[in-house]
């Protein structure tokens, strides 16, 4: 029971991280019609910057803040220099172009930081268990992630629904020419949206950094999961991304934790331990396949896309 609660919280945390990534992806796709495979690279850069800056400055939180700023600048530079030329192009062109960027970033990281993975140390006040309920402990850091991510999700929701920028974003999604005709600098809007996406990816990356090993290619593994989230939730829909991200996070984490035991109920121990890792990885994709069979546009597709 305790284990289940812990795994559910882990699943929630993982899901929220996926949401941060998926939200950026779906915003950029929804507004600029850009498939950005290099989104995972921004996640990775956020993690690497966090590792370096926190070691340099001696504080995780300060390092994280610097990392966020640095990745944001990097994202904006990337948009201005390269990605804006891909707007309006065939999706295949965008896929190829951003694929090239992934290769570039992975190799750049190898050049600067070397092939070995990095780890990020947590300050003591985060690196301890917190008593949620009598007798139930949970790592403080993971709680912090959940809190921060939920706050960001709420802020995102408020921004998109209640502010002028959010209105422009929603308007831009459904009618680009109109927004341009209203005198809004659409190029600036696009750069801001991309920057927002980059910041979300960076945040996910730097928050994840102390938990995982920071390594080359970490962006792509989670990017594909973000794609799965978007497919299930429906492209262009932040609400859909949120719900399906939590769902995916829970299914993946809880599934991986309990599948081996479940399998042992029906299979021999040897068969169970062979099949378990493979099947655990398949869970989310099976979930995605089921959604596809029933509703190919996703569960909550944004209207008009």
The footprint of another protein (CB under 8 A) covers: 29, 35, 82, 85-86, 89, 91-93, 95-108, 110-111, 220, 224, 227-228, 230-231, 235, 274, 277-278, 280-282, 285, 288-289, 292-293, 296
Cα distance between residue 273 and residue 271, in whole Å: 6
CB of 269 to another protein, least distance (A): 14
Smallest distance from another protein to CB 261, Å: 17
Helix extents (H) in 128-237: 140-162, 164-174, 176-181, 186-208, 218-233
Residues 137 and 129: beta-carbon distance below 8 Å:
yes
| Residue number, 9 or 101, with CB nearest to another protein | 101
| Nearer to another protein (CB atom), residue 127 or residue 281 | 281
The residues near 269 (Cβ < 8 Å, ≥ 6 apart) are none
Tokens of 177: 């020419």
Q: Which residue number, 137 or 285, has a Cβ lying nearer to another protein?
A: 285
Minimum gap (Å) between residue 7 Cβ and another protein: 20
- Between residues 108 and 148, which has the closer beta carbon with respect to another protein? 108
Q: What is the phi/psi pair of residue 64, to 5°?
A: -60, -45
Q: Considering the complex, what minimum distance in angstroms separates the CB of residue 37 from another protein?
A: 9
Nearest CA-CA partner of 3 in 182, 276, 186, 260: 260
Cβ closest to another protein, residue 1 vs residue 278: 278
Enumerate the β-bridge partners of residue 130. Answer: 138
Tokens 């990605």, residue located: 83
Rounded distance, CA 181 to CA 196, Å?
Answer: 23
Nearer residue to another protein within complex by CB, 93 or 185: 93
Residue 143 CB contacts under 8 Å (≥ 6 apart), including other chains = 130
- With residue 240 as reference, give the H or E element that holds it: helix 238-266
Q: How far is the CB of 285 from another protein (least distance, A)?
A: 4
The minimum distance between CB 84 and another protein, in angstroms, equals: 11
């Amino acid at each position: 029971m305790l284990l289940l609660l812990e795994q559910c919280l882990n699943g929630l945390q993982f899901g929220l991280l996926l949401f941060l990534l998926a939200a950026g992806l779906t915003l950029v796709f929804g507004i600029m019609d850009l498939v950005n495979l290099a989104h995972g690279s921004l996640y990775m850069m956020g993690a690497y910057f966090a590792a370096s800056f926190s070691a340099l400055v001696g504080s995780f939180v300060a390092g994280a803040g610097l990392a966020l700023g640095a990745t944001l600048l990097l994202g904006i530079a990337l948009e201005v220099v390269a990605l804006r030329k891909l707007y309006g192009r065939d999706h295949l062109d965008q896929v190829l172009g951003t694929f090239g960027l992934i290769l570039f970033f992975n190799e750049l990281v190898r050049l600067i930081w070397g092939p070995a993975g990095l780890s990020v140390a947590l300050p003591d006040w985060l690196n301890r268990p917190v008593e949620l309920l009598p007798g139930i402990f949970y790592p403080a850091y993971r709680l912090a992630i959940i809190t921060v991510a939920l706050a960001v999700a709420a802020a995102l929701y408020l921004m998109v629904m209640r502010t002028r920028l959010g209105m422009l974003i929603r308007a831009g999604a459904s009618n680009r020419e109109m927004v341009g005709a209203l005198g809004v600098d659409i190029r600036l809007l696009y750069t801001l949206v991309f920057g927002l996406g980059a910041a979300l990816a960076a945040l996910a990356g730097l928050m994840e950094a102390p938990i995982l090993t920071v390594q080359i290619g970490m962006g792509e593994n989670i990017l594909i999961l973000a794609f799965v989230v978007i497919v299930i939730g429906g492209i262009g829909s932040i609400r859909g991304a949120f719900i399906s991200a939590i769902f995916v996070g829970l299914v993946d984490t809880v599934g991986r934790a309990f599948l081996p035991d479940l399998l042992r109920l029906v299979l021999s121990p040897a068969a169970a331990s062979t099949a378990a890792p493979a099947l655990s990885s398949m869970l989310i994709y099976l979930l995605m396949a089921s959604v596809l069979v029933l509703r190919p546009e996703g569960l909550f597709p944004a209207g008009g896309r």
